[in-house]
Structure 1
Amino acid sequence: MTTRYGLYIAPPAHSELWRFGSAVLGWDAETGADVPQLVPPSADARAFRALTEDPRRYGFHATMKPPFRLAEDRDVDALVGALRDFCGGRPAFRLPRLEVRAVGADADGNAFLALVEPQPTPELLALERALVTGFDAFRAPLTEAEIARRRPERLSEVERENLMRWGYPGVLSRFRFHLTLTGRAPAAEVPTLVAELSALHAERVSEPGLLVDQIALFVQDRAEDPASRFVVRERVLLV
């Protein structure tokens, strides 16, 4: 099976935050269409297009249950049904206003740019844990190739355990909420990109904070193109 699904937090499609994030990526996963890219003032348009290539493939989102192939005894209708049942029993909540920060810096200071919380929100941590564990029966086991791509030899012991048990290293105690805006930027460019994307975020997003009132089911169909982009298949409201 070549289709993958992910359970994400994605801002409502009509929101300023969704339009901002989609514009930075140059791709709207709701409509499945390219959009004019919002390029920071000091950045070269072609170079920024390349810098956002990887997050553009996934669409603007924060990962909760990382992408997975469906288990053989499950289908997408059952997945959607389970998601509706899940969301019907959980209340919405609001995050504080998000901030543009550098995340995942390597030893040389190269880092991704993302919108993150100023501090962790307990309701969000509980939601992530419930989605990771509660929907794992829908996930097909990782193949040896999928495990190898995660380079388990470079992971911590906890991350390796997460990879083998839950299919992804950065879950549960290793979960860090982030809405990715770029791929890994060179260290010398990171401060300017943070400042300029922060200014664009302040200019274009007046909303006080992200209202988490829905879970989005994203889908990637790799039948014809292994590098195909994720699109929104379903948005299910929390109560």
Structure 2
Amino acid sequence: MTAARFALYAAPSAESPLEHFAAAWLGRSSRSGEPVAQRGMPGLDGERMAGITASPRRYGFHATLKAPFALAEAMSADGLHEAAQSFARRRAAFDLPLRVASLDRFLALVPTEPSPAVHELADECVRLFDRFRAPADAVELAKRRAAGLNPRQEACLTRWGYPYVFDEFRYHMTLTERLADPLHDEVLGHLRQVTEALLAEPFRVDALAVFEEPERGAPFVMTARYPFLS
């Protein structure tokens, strides 16, 4: 069995309508780890729906603040949780209006406009929690490089274990796999329609969530969600 990995995410509260929608869309609760009845869409059967949501279902509905990492040898899960809770107590909550968009053919919720607050949050998570991260292994590095990285992304991968940080960071809450036409446009239109009322209110970024992958390839589960100061 390979060692567990941890990640720091922005994720909705358990009672949030966005959380209920995402769990039904993806077909799994990231809190319990259990499957839930998956919300369908016209023209797609259950097998196809499961296929187009496979990766976001495994990772759980979230926006990445600190990408998945194994713990450094001197670090512990308890220490990570204590640091996450302490960090959250010093942060102020903020609103983040979201919309459905296509990112490299993946469909996701993204900010409607640039948000300095969310970039500051992500930047601090990358820096302050890096002491908990074991160096990325050869398999992880190869996986990241297979996507094709520019020089800046390669430098970030080498230093921080993840290529999409700081100026390369894009806040997003993934809803699908990469989709080809015409399915891409069909699902995009459907998601925009069914989330119109849901996204009329901004997402409240009010906590730091810790997710855990018990062993490599297993579904991620939220093990804690630490509220911000206000």
Tell me the TM-score normalized by structure 2.
Answer: 0.95
CA contact (8 A) 2:30 2:222 kept: yes
CA offset at residue 67 of structure 1?
0.3
Letter in 2 for 1:102: S
Distance 1:69 1:48 in 2: 31
Q: Does 1:147 align with 2:141?
A: yes
Question: Aligned in 2, Cα 1:19/1:153: closer, same or farther, shift over 3 Å?
Answer: closer
The residue aligned with 2:100 is 100
Letter in 1 for 2:131: A
The residue aligned with 1:208 is 201
CA contact (8 A) 2:23 2:36 kept: yes
SS in 2 for 1:146: helix
CA offset at residue 100 of structure 1?
1.0
Distance 1:72 1:47 in 2: 41
CA offset at residue 152 of structure 1?
6.0
The residue aligned with 1:188 is 182
Distance 1:150 1:15 in 2: 32
The residue aligned with 2:132 is 138
CA offset at residue 154 of structure 1?
2.2
SS in 2 for 1:202: coil
CA deviations over 1:27-79 (Å, ceiling 9, x no partner): 10012111111122232321121111111110111111000000000001110
Distance 2:20 2:147 in 1: 39
Letter in 2 for 1:198: R
Q: In the TM superposition, what are the counterparts of 1:155-170 in structure 2 within 5 Å?
A: 155-170=149-164
Where do 5+ consecutive residues of structure 1 fail to align?
105-110
SS in 1 for 2:195: helix
Where do 5+ consecutive residues of structure 2 fail to align?
none
Distance 1:88 1:157 in 2: 36
Question: Aligned in 2, Cα 1:93/1:230: closer, same or farther, shift over 3 Å?
Answer: same
Distance 1:46 1:81 in 2: 41
CA deviations over 1:147-198 (Å, ceiling 9, x no partner): 1121268210000001011101111111101110011111321121111011
Question: Aligned in 2, Cα 1:118/1:166: closer, same or farther, shift over 3 Å?
Answer: same
Q: CA RMSD in A?
A: 1.4
CA contact (8 A) 1:26 1:38 kept: yes
CA deviations over 1:81-126 (Å, ceiling 9, x no partner): 1111111111111112x1111112xxxxxx1111111112111000
SS in 1 for 2:43: coil
Distance 1:121 1:59 in 2: 23
CA offset at residue 145 of structure 1?
2.0
Q: Does 1:56 align with 2:57?
A: yes
Identity between Structure 1 and Structure 2 (%): 38
1:233 to 219, 223, 226: 223
Distance 2:163 2:123 in 1: 13
CA contact (8 A) 1:152 1:160 kept: no
CA contact (8 A) 2:99 2:199 kept: no
SS in 2 for 1:154: coil
Distance 1:184 1:152 in 2: 15
